[in-house]
Structure 1
Amino acid sequence: MKQVYFFIIQIILIKVLSLFPDFIERYYSNGLYLYLSKISRLLLGWIPISIGDIAYVVLILLVLRWLFINRIGFFKNWKSNGLTIFGFISMLYLLFHFLWGLNYYRIPLHEKIGIEKEYTKEQLQNLTFKLIAKTNQLQLKIEKEHYKKVVFNYSEQQMYEMAPNGYHNLPKPLSHIQYQHKSIKSSIFSLPLSYMGFGGYLNPFTNEAQVNYLKPKYSSPLTICHEMAHQTGIASESDCNFIGFIAASQNKDVYFQYSAYAFALNYCLYNLEIMEEGSSATYKTYINKGVLENFNENKTFWKHYHSWIDTFFEYIYDSFLKMNQQKDGMESYSKFIGLLINYDLKHEIIHAN
């Protein structure tokens, strides 16, 4: 029964720690975690394949092997088998929070940089027009014709090498976010990730940023920068979308900039629809056809893999986020628009040249 008691003690301890975000911020996120993540990325970042993905495969095989060995009389020995499963889950719970998960309970980013999260419809409309102008400008700069979708000729590895440049150029209010020791890799689970509806993920046990290399390449720079934000110790999905946008837009490479602005524009159109169905149609008339082609490319890709599987995993991940201080669940991804609106109002970072 000690496994049960240990697990209960862990849960209570995490709940208590969650009440002290200043403590988490100072001693974990800007203390212990920096050393843990540095060690992980130094040890594994240079290896071209995902060690975390391989570890998951091995773990799944070991679990299946254990179930097969214990299949006879499994329920008869329910107490012994149950305690073994409980102990395994307890160990994963401990490692998850120790290696990365406590970052869910740190001080929210908007509080640290002194901006609000809420916004008005008028502010959303103004940002949408600014993003349309900037995205159109970048699309024309790359493809020269307004009707051509942006095509990336970079390999995944080239984008992984280029991505940290944006983090080196973060503006002063965000300069405390430091990215060192690259560990970005294509996931061997890219096909399952596509069916699950995920563009990438951070392995919390190995601190490797995993990218789904099958999805449309124009969206990859933003995804890479998003997962890199998780590596810096930012857990909130809205905060990572915001930092990912800033990092990609501050990259000197025009393709990274396009990925950032197209991503933010698409989310603005989505948020307009949430406010009033059909309201995004007017704005689309101002968007270059090539940009809309990229949007359709992305929509078609995810529609191709859509099934009950991604619906199921969306529900699971939505519940997981809500259990970890993100009350908006999956909707938290779109909440970064509020951060972007208020940050732009204060620092005026979005403008077409």
Structure 2
Amino acid sequence: MKKFVLSAVLCALALIMRLGVREIPQFADVYADHFNAFWVNSLGRLSSLFGFSLVEILIYLLIISAVILIVRIIAGNVKLHETGKLYGRDEVLAALLIASLIFFLYECNQDAYFYRTSFAAVYGFGQGSYTTDELKEVCSMLVEKANSLSARVPRNDEGIMVCDENVRERARQAMLILGEKYPYLGGWFPKAKPVLFSQLLSYSNLTGIYSAYTIEANYNTDMTQYNIPFTMCHELSHLKGVMQENQANFCAYLACTGTDDADLLYSGYLSAWVYCGNELYRRDYEAWKELAGTLDQSCNRDLKHNNAFWDRHEGKVSEATESFNDNWLKSHGQTDGTLSYDKVVDLIISYEAGKSNDPL
């Protein structure tokens, strides 16, 4: 009975949160301002004590537990014991409690933040349109920056960028610096965590994933490594309630390019070139072709390696994940779905063109 009551309480609180952020103006903003730090500094710090991705291990344990539960119930044929209790009743109540806790944590640490005033709106980024000439100017800058940094990053025998273990701390420091400049992101950050079985992310076409249940930023270790610093910062921004994917990308760009760390700088500028370059390709192919032709060979090797990596992992799983992610994002107000990642271009142009209201 206690488990059932606690499950009911958690579900009720989750539903109140769900309705509140949708129906009451400023509810999500007030909640984020007062409770984000609580969750990050409690559950987030607790999770950070584990050197591995806690949510990954918990998922595996949940799957195993679910299988065992089903087998036990089937084996017991859902029959009555001599005590009169339904076989498997306690296990079902435990499963209900876990499901209720998952629902509650999701509402508190993810769903609510979709309805707060966005990072871009608070600081005035991306409010105006931009011309193709402005896009070309920014793309030219991005190529120039990436070229100048390409020789400063460590590379393997194939000439592909590699990251060391310390990049996790350096990405964390970059986010701390960004949080000092933009209080929206202020406060403590944990290190992003590598996913042990990153193949699962690779075949799902995912570079990283944020866990609302453990307050963790997780990243794919198998992908081409110029992506890693950018992805770490992207997922860490989710931890601070930046749920819109284009804005998480933008925060990653600001964090990576706001340091003097060559690995982060290169990751930020090359990743931004991919997004902005794709937009230029659609608008002015000849201008894109000219700029792409000036890209350093090392940069090209990283990009070709990246394309080949994702091509190798395309299939039914990636298609299903893409479809799910697209629908999930749309259901949370991101009308462009998975295309919303690309909308970071608007924000980068706004920032680089000096159209933003920089707080400093």
For the aligned pair, the TM-score class normalised by the smaller chain equals 0.7 to 0.9
How far residue 307 of structure 1 moved from its aligned partner, in angstroms, is: 0.8
Query: Is the CA contact (8 Å cut-off) linking 2:119 and 2:184 kept in structure 1?
Result: no
Please, which runs of 5 or more residues in structure 1 have no aligned partner? 75-79, 349-353
Task: Give 1 or 2 for the bigger CA radius of gyration.
Answer: 2
CA deviation digits over 1:69-121, x for unaligned, max 9?
344879xxxxx9xx989887555322211233311111012210013344333
How far residue 300 of structure 1 moved from its aligned partner, in angstroms, is: 0.8
Q: 1:321 corresponds to which residue?
A: 329
Query: Is the CA contact (8 Å cut-off) linking 1:209 and 1:227 kept in structure 2?
Result: yes
The 3 A distance-change label for structure 1 pair 125 and 181 is closer
The amino acid across from 2:210 in the alignment is L
**Secondary structure of 1:210's aligned partner:** strand
Equivalent runs, 1:62-141 vs 2, <5 Å = 62-71=65-74, 91-117=101-127, 118-141=129-152
**Secondary structure of 1:151's aligned partner:** coil
CA distance in 2, matches of 1:334, 1:66: 42
CA distance in 2, matches of 1:124, 1:307: 33
TM-score of the pair, normalised by structure 1:
0.84
Please, which runs of 5 or more residues in structure 2 have no aligned partner? 79-88
How far residue 179 of structure 1 moved from its aligned partner, in angstroms, is: 4.3
How far residue 333 of structure 1 moved from its aligned partner, in angstroms, is: 0.7
Query: Is the CA contact (8 Å cut-off) linking 2:238 and 2:248 kept in structure 1?
Result: yes
The amino acid across from 1:272 in the alignment is L
CA deviation digits over 1:33-52, x for unaligned, max 9?
21012101221212211221
How far residue 256 of structure 1 moved from its aligned partner, in angstroms, is: 0.9
The amino acid across from 2:312 in the alignment is H
Asked if residue 22 in structure 1 is aligned to residue 26 in structure 2, the reply is: yes
Higher deviation after alignment, 214-223 or 255-264: 214-223
**Secondary structure of 1:202's aligned partner:** strand
How far residue 15 of structure 1 moved from its aligned partner, in angstroms, is: 4.4
Q: 2:53 corresponds to which residue?
A: 50
Match of 2:35 among 18, 32, 45: 32
The amino acid across from 2:241 in the alignment is G
* Percent of residue pairs identical: 21
Query: Is the CA contact (8 Å cut-off) linking 2:55 and 2:213 kept in structure 1?
Result: yes
How far residue 175 of structure 1 moved from its aligned partner, in angstroms, is: 4.5
Query: Is the CA contact (8 Å cut-off) linking 1:41 and 1:183 kept in structure 2?
Result: no
The 3 A distance-change label for structure 1 pair 151 and 106 is same
Q: 2:310 corresponds to which residue?
A: 302
**Secondary structure of 2:40's aligned partner:** helix
Query: Is the CA contact (8 Å cut-off) linking 1:24 and 1:103 kept in structure 2?
Result: yes
How far residue 122 of structure 1 moved from its aligned partner, in angstroms, is: 2.7
How far residue 197 of structure 1 moved from its aligned partner, in angstroms, is: 0.6
Q: 1:244 corresponds to which residue?
A: 252
How far residue 255 of structure 1 moved from its aligned partner, in angstroms, is: 1.2
How far residue 208 of structure 1 moved from its aligned partner, in angstroms, is: 1.2
Higher deviation after alignment, 300-309 or 160-169: 160-169
The amino acid across from 1:290 in the alignment is S
CA distance in 1, matches of 2:24, 2:271: 34
User: Across the two proteins, how many residue pairs are aligned to each other?
Assistant: 336
How far residue 308 of structure 1 moved from its aligned partner, in angstroms, is: 1.2
TM-score of the pair, normalised by structure 2:
0.82
CA distance in 1, matches of 2:228, 2:320: 24
Q: 1:77 corresponds to which residue?
A: none
**Root mean square deviation, CA, Å:** 3.2
Higher deviation after alignment, 339-348 or 131-140: 339-348
Q: 2:273 corresponds to which residue?
A: 265
How far residue 25 of structure 1 moved from its aligned partner, in angstroms, is: 1.3
Q: 1:223 corresponds to which residue?
A: 231
CA deviation digits over 1:167-204, x for unaligned, max 9?
23339762442241424211123111110011111111
How far residue 257 of structure 1 moved from its aligned partner, in angstroms, is: 0.3
**Secondary structure of 1:243's aligned partner:** helix
CA deviation digits over 1:227-250, x for unaligned, max 9?
111112211111110001111111
The 3 A distance-change label for structure 1 pair 335 and 258 is same
**Secondary structure of 1:346's aligned partner:** coil
The 3 A distance-change label for structure 1 pair 340 and 190 is same
Higher deviation after alignment, 129-138 or 165-174: 165-174
How far residue 123 of structure 1 moved from its aligned partner, in angstroms, is: 2.3
The 3 A distance-change label for structure 1 pair 175 and 15 is closer
**Secondary structure of 2:276's aligned partner:** helix
